[in-house]
Structure 1
């Protein structure tokens, strides 16, 4: 890994848990309970279970991955009807999810002494694997507490991580008619809107008296940053996959083209122009240019959006109702599978795109990034450029909109469902302590 990407990964992980304590109280080691067990008997109903991974649990040592860390074990029997895979390519998906970004678990599946699947990527709240057309029989599922982030980057981790898991049959998209298996990008509702001071991340420390990062102030003229998160999901049949050739010197070649790789139902893969990347020298990483657009609108007394253009957007020139306003493009870093958007639903793929793989060039010198079907990429409020400058705006009710792929550079199945909106109430805007309250889903919107 190149030095600047290794450093980036370190600060990324350190910044993912801004509210976590710097130290954790020691606790008595815990012994493993008897493993849970269940049988997957049909193709329609999943097998759910839950458990808790312990930081200080005694390793059971049953498999190499559990020799030094706690593993929660679940005994899964597969007993599907004969013909379950006849003319229906697919497999059994095994998935686990948890809360608390910055915590991490790993997932392993064994049959006898052989490991048949694993999902180990970091910076996520879910792992998932697919056993292609597995034979009926006994399988062991291990959920391992992950110390890698703490050991390598000093990230504090919780004493225990509760999780939920499931096993279910997933079939591949039907091969006929022959077609492109396209992604379908959708913006999910914001979960946080805040004026809180962001923590140190990407070589930057937050300024104690402002919600803006120094780079946002210096490079973009930000004055009052309303920070928020964005959740961009892929509800399509196929993955969103990008690759781009890394320059030898990103400082002298700061931008370049991106290829979108399109998978087809007959197994073929084609490539097309999918936009551009740019190198951000302050944060020492590569951005996808124009992945999503955020904009803020005023409302009338009934909550109806006023006008057709945003009052203000992230390039920070003040707009007026009905007049063009400057727009800010969300530039994404390291597009990966963060959480399962279609949990317990048919149509989600195993975790395919993860960190740190998204930071490592392929043998041909490409970076490969993407978003699997049924997964979401999450950009938390405390990341750089996750803000709108609301300096000078009055107290009141606003609509915050997010549009995925606003420039239509990505080939996807549905171009009409990319926009999502929430209501936000701003108060104390003329004081030293402004406040933003997230009120819930907003009105229908479009690009």
Structure 2
């Protein structure tokens, strides 16, 4: 099905489209597995052209039937569908975002940088999406997700009267969301500005909420609102060390590329990782590097506190001379538990430490990495093959733990910032808001497992959160994620990744889409996929003729 593409017109431009097409194809996998779809952009594709790679479940579950809705740009003049005021025609009544309804749709692939909203469609096109919003909603949520946090976008949301109602960006984050209270009924416009995008894709979601909170009704007696920690299944594997191991000063990932000299990657471990154990190093030899991190999918904040100066004055800190390159100063850490009546209590929760390479404080022993060799691919027999040394972490609210759930909170504290929290010697906070997670990418010191002495073959890498049980959380049985990989020389292929211990875990949840926690929806997740029609209206799939 081909339809013309037409970006939202600016006051000085008409809808336009250059030559090029979005080609989609579906491939049937082995019996019992999911369908997979692929899309590629043809030559000359305009960033504002609309293309979708959507899958509509025949039933939400393991078997998905793909609905491929592709748009092709003819390159010729397009019909001007606006009236004299430049307002596009209203969406049909079956395409209204109703109260407590949520839509999910695919965005574009953009390349370039538009420094400000005023330069949209001058530097590059900034695609727009039109949402017909029903009356009576308490809050409108517009969210964006991109698989690489090195790509940043601005989200600008315009009310039916044309005024800018809200905006946000995802700088150094995977996700961003604009929240608008008491939205008026009518046609809203969402404009996406490529702030710094390199052939970057994104997806969108929107929900009109009936209430300003997603919390359940308060119980008669106060109850604790606890976090539930999980981990991002390992990904971005490689044997190349970072060019700059001193990358803990809160920079974006782009400042620390792989170490390569004349096309040769000489080492896999950073200096501190390879340093002798006697001086505080890890004695690493061949580092299998990857990306992972914690996610909080519970109802409460992951809220850890520390006070370096107060602890030092009280004589409760210690210097660790045998860990000078990873845990220089160590002190007691406290977990703050939030209750349904608004009160807080504190409890001991292990230790914190100062990491001299990351140059901030860590929540000690929060993550553990393990490597297993697969000796029988049918039965899933595993043999321990290596360990990592990464244990401390300073997370930030940088990714949605569950794209399909509108549960993300914006509490304080929750995550780190360049000047406070993980960097503060007083009133330090290490935490994650409800529904948020983070990753340390492969180039951060300690993000590896030792691979020295292992042959080519298949392996399982596990990422485990709070193995020592210091954190009071709702569920301690779901703290493991895995990646099933094949190693051939310096080439690593991810065969499968997800929540669980390994591919043979009957409770596993496979992450089959791109991004840190990208996956298809589950049976109980009522997901309405949408598309963008030729007039840039967002419409649920079942409303399309």
- 1:96 alignment counterpart: 144
Residue pair 1:420, 1:445 contacting (<8 A) in 2 also? no
CA 1:413–1:134 in structure 2 vs 1: closer, same or farther (change >3 Å)?
A: farther
Residue pair 1:66, 1:144 contacting (<8 A) in 2 also? no
Per the alignment, in what secondary structure is the counterpart of residue 215 of structure 1?
A: helix
**Aligned equivalents of 1:35, 1:403: Cα separation in 2:** 52
1:337 aligned onto 2:337: no
Deviations 1:249-296 (A, max 9, x none): 999782223333333333334333333221122332222211111112
Per the alignment, in what secondary structure is the counterpart of residue 312 of structure 1?
A: strand
Match of residue 172, structure 1, among 211, 214, 219 = 214
Within 5 Å, give how 1:137-156 maps onto structure 2: 139-146=188-195
Unpaired runs of 5+ in structure 1? Answer: 1-26, 86-90, 147-156, 315-327, 429-433
Deviations 1:182-215 (A, max 9, x none): 2211224222322234333425984841111111
Within 5 Å, give how 1:37-436 maps onto structure 2: 39-46=96-103, 48=105, 50-51=107-108, 55-57=112-114, 60-61=117-118, 72-80=127-135, 82=136, 91-109=139-157, 111=159, 117-120=166-169, 122-132=171-181, 134=183, 136=185, 139-146=188-195, 157-158=196-197, 161-169=200-208, 171-177=213-219, 178-202=222-246, 206=259, 208-218=265-275, 219-245=281-307, 247=309, 254-301=329-376, 302-306=378-382, 310-314=384-388, 328-333=389-394, 335-349=395-409, 357=417, 359-361=419-421, 365-428=426-489, 434-436=490-492
CA 1:281–1:167 in structure 2 vs 1: closer, same or farther (change >3 Å)?
A: same
Per the alignment, in what secondary structure is the counterpart of residue 437 of structure 2?
A: strand
Deviations 1:319-360 (A, max 9, x none): xxxxxxxxx343213x11222231133433359778873542
Deviations 1:378-417 (A, max 9, x none): 2222221111112122333332222111111112111111
- 1:88 alignment counterpart: none
CA 1:172–1:398 in structure 2 vs 1: closer, same or farther (change >3 Å)?
A: same
Per the alignment, in what secondary structure is the counterpart of residue 365 of structure 2?
A: strand
Within 5 Å, give how 1:2-13 maps onto structure 2: none
1:116 Cα offset (Å): 5.3
Residue pair 2:416, 2:429 contacting (<8 A) in 1 also? no
Per the alignment, in what secondary structure is the counterpart of residue 46 of structure 1?
A: strand
Per the alignment, in what secondary structure is the counterpart of residue 218 of structure 2?
A: coil
- 1:7 alignment counterpart: none
Per the alignment, in what secondary structure is the counterpart of residue 272 of structure 2?
A: helix
1:237 Cα offset (Å): 2.0
Per the alignment, in what secondary structure is the counterpart of residue 375 of structure 2?
A: coil
**Aligned equivalents of 2:333, 2:460: Cα separation in 1:** 32
Per the alignment, in what secondary structure is the counterpart of residue 274 of structure 2?
A: helix
CA 1:414–1:365 in structure 2 vs 1: closer, same or farther (change >3 Å)?
A: same
**Aligned equivalents of 2:428, 2:189: Cα separation in 1:** 34
CA 1:176–1:56 in structure 2 vs 1: closer, same or farther (change >3 Å)?
A: closer
**Aligned equivalents of 1:273, 1:114: Cα separation in 2:** 49
1:49 Cα offset (Å): 6.2
**Aligned equivalents of 2:356, 2:420: Cα separation in 1:** 18
**Aligned equivalents of 2:274, 2:103: Cα separation in 1:** 49
1:297 Cα offset (Å): 2.2
**Aligned equivalents of 2:331, 2:425: Cα separation in 1:** 16
1:135 Cα offset (Å): 5.2
Residue pair 2:226, 2:472 contacting (<8 A) in 1 also? yes
Alpha-carbon RMSD across the aligned residues, in angstroms, is 4.2
Per the alignment, in what secondary structure is the counterpart of residue 216 of structure 1?
A: helix
CA 1:134–1:254 in structure 2 vs 1: closer, same or farther (change >3 Å)?
A: farther
Per the alignment, in what secondary structure is the counterpart of residue 446 of structure 2?
A: coil
CA 1:197–1:182 in structure 2 vs 1: closer, same or farther (change >3 Å)?
A: same
* TM-score, scaled relative to structure 1: 0.70
Unpaired runs of 5+ in structure 2? Answer: 1-43, 51-85, 248-255, 276-280, 320-327, 508-545
**Aligned equivalents of 1:391, 1:413: Cα separation in 2:** 37
More displaced stretch, 403-412 vs 157-166:
157-166
Residue pair 2:110, 2:197 contacting (<8 A) in 1 also? no
Count residues in correspondence: 379
